[in-house]
Amino acid sequence: MKLFDVQCESCGHTWEDMANKVGDVFKCTKCGNRAKTVISRCNFKLDGTDPGFPTAYDQWATRHERMGRG
C-alpha cells in the first residue's frame, strides 16, 4: 500500500490515506460522501546550489555586474 491524497467528490475535502492504487474509493471523513484517491501535485524548491538553476538573487547580481553596477 502507498500513501495517496484522497479527495471528496462532494465537498472537496482532501486528506492523506493508504491505498493500493489511484482511483480507490473511500468514505469522506468530513461529510461521509464518496471520495477517491487522486495524484497529488509535485512540490519542491530549487535552492540555487546547482549552477544550472540559479536563484533570483544570483540572476539579479549577475545582470547588475554586467551593467557595471556591482
Is 52 among the domain residues?
no
Is 70 among the domain residues?
no
Q: Please give the residue range of the domain that contains residue 6.
A: 1-39
Cα–Cα distance measured from residue 69 to residue 16, given in angstroms and rounded to the nearest whole number:
50
Structurally, how many domains does the chain consist of?
1
Is 62 among the domain residues?
no
Is 69 among the domain residues?
no
Cell of 26: 473511500
Beta-carbon contacts of 43 under 8 Å, excluding residues fewer than 6 positions away, are none
pTM for this one? 0.55
Is 67 among the domain residues?
no
Is 33 among the domain residues?
yes
Is 47 among the domain residues?
no
Cα–Cα distance measured from residue 21 to residue 1, given in angstroms and rounded to the nearest whole number:
8
Return per-residue pLDDT of the chain as tens, 70 residues. Answer: 888 899 999 999 999 999 888 888 999 999 999 999 988 777 666 665 666 666 777 777 888 888 876 5
Is 20 among the domain residues?
yes
